[in-house]
Amino acid sequence: MRYSPTTPLTLLLITLAAALPSTPTPPTTQCTDAKILKALAGTYTLLNTSSTLNNTPIPDLPYGSNPVGLLIYTATGWMSATITATEPSLRPALTFPFQPNDTDADWALVGKHSIGYAGPLRVSRDVVGNETVGQLFHGPLVVANVPTWVGANQRRNYSVVEREEEGGVVRYLRIGSERGGGYRGVLWWRKVA
């Protein structure tokens, strides 16, 4: 996602990124899974995405320039994520269920520019984690619009930043994902519930 360097969201994300160490310092003792899941539980709205290929920034083509999304984590160990592009050129006027006159090309365009999946949420034991930094597994996924993701585990690194803003403390969640083949993504989410 590209923003002008002077927009309030860009300034906020720069401030949040500065609040996190470039390589988060892992905790020295493992927090219980229940404490971590409880601390992360909530509904988050997508603020920003960025991608790299072999550590070089690249456009985040799957999501377009202004994606929307929701990430839901429960304290009981379940999750759901949905992200989609918003540009009209990537969102043909389709309805559900599909209609006989819909084109495969229109549905393929929607599929290329959206992701949706859900399943168990587990704390990774590959790294020591706590309520503000660590690693999770989304999965094994029960539902996914990408067929090869069903049954798979998606590894996600997380960092939490809380910031005093008008109206109280706001929680931001930074999710890092390894996408394979040298592709990496960073997604910033804001807790809304």
Domains and CATH numbers, the chain: 8-191 (2.40.128)
Q: Across the chain, what does the average pLDDT equal?
A: 88
Most confident of 9-23, 71-85, 174-188: 71-85
Question: How crowded is the C-beta side of 141, counted as CA atoms within 13 Å?
Answer: 19
What's the gap between Cα 4 and its chain centre? Answer: 22
pLDDT value at residue 97: 94
User: Mean pLDDT across the stretch 121-150?
Assistant: 96
Q: In degrees rounded to 5, what are phi and psi of residue 125?
A: -100, 5
Examine the pLDDT at 181 and tell me if it is beyond 60.
yes
What is the rounded distance in angstroms from the CA atom of residue 190 to the CA atom of residue 75? 17
DSSP, res 106: H
